[in-house]
Amino acid sequence: MMKQHGPPPSGFHPASAMDFLPLAQLRDLQLKRMQAIVSRAYEHVTLFRQRMKERDLTPASVQTLDDVRLLPFTEKNDLRATYPFGLFASPMTEIVRLHASSGTTGKPIVVAYTQEDLDAWTNAMLRALAACGLHKGDIVQNAYGYGLFTGGLGAHYGAEALGATVIPISGGNTDRQIMVMKDFGVTAICCTPSYFLHLIERAGELGVNMKNLPLRAGILGAEPWTEAMRQRIEAESAIKAYDIYGLSEIVGPGVAMECPHQSGPHIFEDLFYPEVVDPKTGAPAPDEAEGELVLTTLAKRAMPMIRYRTHDITAVTSETCACGRTLRRIKRISRRSDDMLIIRGINLYPSQIEAALLAVEGTLPHYQIIVDREKGLDTLEVQVEVTAEFFSDTVGAMEGLQAKLVHSIETVTGLRPQVRLVAPRTLQRSEGKAKRVQDKRKL
């Protein structure tokens, strides 16, 4: 039976009370904040004001939360076109921090924060860490990169505000990470899922069994990962792996975070207003249906984002969670609308390959997808590492495994790939976001 909504269970940080706000109060707060942010953007951001005028809209047009649909979308290209500071709504004298995200092509995008914005972000990250059961006394190894990337500093300030002990180790230097994890009695780690896999593997090589360490929680995000990947991670390390979601344009990490029920990240809705739209047409998706996540920041002063198209594919569910939070949840984001590969006319997402590979015993969660074109025809090769036992096994056993993998991928995707089994530790490891795909057709 679902638990009734109510106050936060004892043991939570007082800041988590916002996660349990009665729904009517939450919607009321969202509307007030939305009206204020639209006014602010209208007054201070030329691009937004122009687009509103083209549509004969003024801030007063927003009377209900659903009126958000009247407003123009903001796209990543708008940030590029106004690079570096064109979407700022505060003068530089009020801006106390800049971050940037490089993306795959062209200019980076730059994002700005006032002190109030940083405080709100810290509050979101504090609540994110509290939501998965972290508290004062926890020792948090923060292996997200510090720098222009939002991961490091975002998690850092949230963990400090929670009262936990933060180890600002940043990404990389894997052997030192393992030494610190062991010697400092680390109880929680923040990093990408792919880097955590690398840590497990390297720990094994160094004779450290993570299952014997006090480490109990991973705050893993910044890249798509599948449920199969979570299961592998949890089985090999004995931690609980929580999914944390966020993006630079909106704030950084801490837009949404899983609770101990691990049934999809709860969106911090008092700060970020979610919509789901059809990625092609931009029309609202039906309730609970999958589509592209669109976010509006409700409390960001330096750089309000109105209806930002994230390209992340998910669904928003208002189904009650057993934790009692009133915050809606997003479904795990395992793909982006712009991640899609079209191979011989068939649409393919890397996460489909991940799920298909990990369903087969004998594989390791390290793989590469290589797309090329030969004589005008697309080719798909999947390289996957297999366990040492399988790799040293008979040719027959290897061929059997290969055939199973081809079949598994074909069943999931409709494409028959070339599967190449490679020895453990052959493929390159990432220290941040993993790069799974090489599309040589584009070279």
CB-wise, 19 or 62, nearer to ligand DLL?
A: 19
Q: 418-437: which residues touch ligand DLL (CB under 6 A)?
A: none
Q: Which of 158, 218, 224, 362 binds ligand DLL (CB under 6 A)?
A: 224
**Smallest gap, in angstroms, from Cβ of residue 169 to ligand DLL?**
15
Burial label, 443 (beta-carbon count in 10 A; 0-12, 13-18, 19+): exposed
Q: 232-271: which residues touch ligand DLL (CB under 6 A)?
A: 243-248, 252-253
CB-wise, 8 or 274, nearer to ligand DLL?
A: 274
**Smallest gap, in angstroms, from Cβ of residue 428 to ligand DLL?**
20
At 196, give phi and psi (nearest 5°).
Answer: -65, -40
Q: How far apart are CA 52 and CA 212, in angstroms?
A: 58
CB-wise, 221 or 365, nearer to ligand DLL?
A: 221
| CA distance from start to end of the chain | 54
CB-wise, 67 or 339, nearer to ligand DLL?
A: 339
Q: 89-108: which residues touch ligand DLL (CB under 6 A)?
A: 101
Closest among 362, 365, 369 to 413, alpha carbons compared: 369
Does 227 interact with ligand DLL (rule: CB under 6 A)? no
**Smallest gap, in angstroms, from Cβ of residue 195 to ligand DLL?**
11
What single-letter amino acid sits at 133? Answer: G
**Smallest gap, in angstroms, from Cβ of residue 88 to ligand DLL?**
18
CB-wise, 59 or 151, nearer to ligand DLL?
A: 151
Does 295 interact with ligand DLL (rule: CB under 6 A)? no
**Smallest gap, in angstroms, from Cβ of residue 34 to ligand DLL?**
22
**311 — alpha (psi -120 to 50), left (phi > 0) or beta?**
left
What single-letter amino acid sits at 145? Answer: G
Answer whether 334's CB lies under 8 Å from 224's CB: yes
Closest among 274, 292, 307, 310 to 51, alpha carbons compared: 307
Count other C-beta atoms under 10 Å from residue 5's C-beta: 15
**Smallest gap, in angstroms, from Cβ of residue 435 to ligand DLL?**
13
Answer whether 310's CB lies under 8 Å from 76's CB: no
Does 151 interact with ligand DLL (rule: CB under 6 A)? yes
Copy the structure tokens of residue 96: 């106390």
At 374, give phi and psi (nearest 5°).
Answer: -125, 125
**Smallest gap, in angstroms, from Cβ of residue 12 to ligand DLL?**
21
Annotate 186-219 with DSSP letters as a single string.
--EEEE-HHHHHHHHHHHHHTT--GGGSS--EEE
Q: How far apart are CA 35 and CA 44, in angstroms?
A: 14
**Smallest gap, in angstroms, from Cβ of residue 407 to ligand DLL?**
27
CB-wise, 31 or 229, nearer to ligand DLL?
A: 229
Q: How far apart are CA 233 and CA 435, in angstroms?
A: 18
Which range, of 5-13, 221-229, 282-290, 294-302, touches ligand DLL by CB under 6 A? Answer: 221-229
Does 222 interact with ligand DLL (rule: CB under 6 A)? yes
**Smallest gap, in angstroms, from Cβ of residue 193 to ligand DLL?**
8
CB-wise, 236 or 292, nearer to ligand DLL?
A: 292
Does 312 interact with ligand DLL (rule: CB under 6 A)? yes
Q: How far apart are CA 269 and CA 266, in angstroms?
A: 8
Does 314 interact with ligand DLL (rule: CB under 6 A)? no
Tell me which DSSP letter residue 359 carries. T
Does 365 interact with ligand DLL (rule: CB under 6 A)? no
Does 350 interact with ligand DLL (rule: CB under 6 A)? no
At 106, give phi and psi (nearest 5°).
Answer: 65, -155
Q: Which residues pair with 381 in a beta bridge?
A: 370, 418
Q: Where are the beta strands (DSSP E) in 37-92?
A: none
Q: Which of 230, 336, 366, 436 binds ligand DLL (CB under 6 A)?
A: 336
**Smallest gap, in angstroms, from Cβ of residue 437 to ligand DLL?**
14
C-alpha distances in Å from residue 204, one per residue of 68, 210, 385: 51, 8, 16
CB-wise, 196 or 245, nearer to ligand DLL?
A: 245
Does 223 interact with ligand DLL (rule: CB under 6 A)? yes
Residues lying near ligand DLL in the complex (CB under 6 A)? 101, 144, 150-151, 221-224, 243-248, 252-253, 310, 312, 333, 336
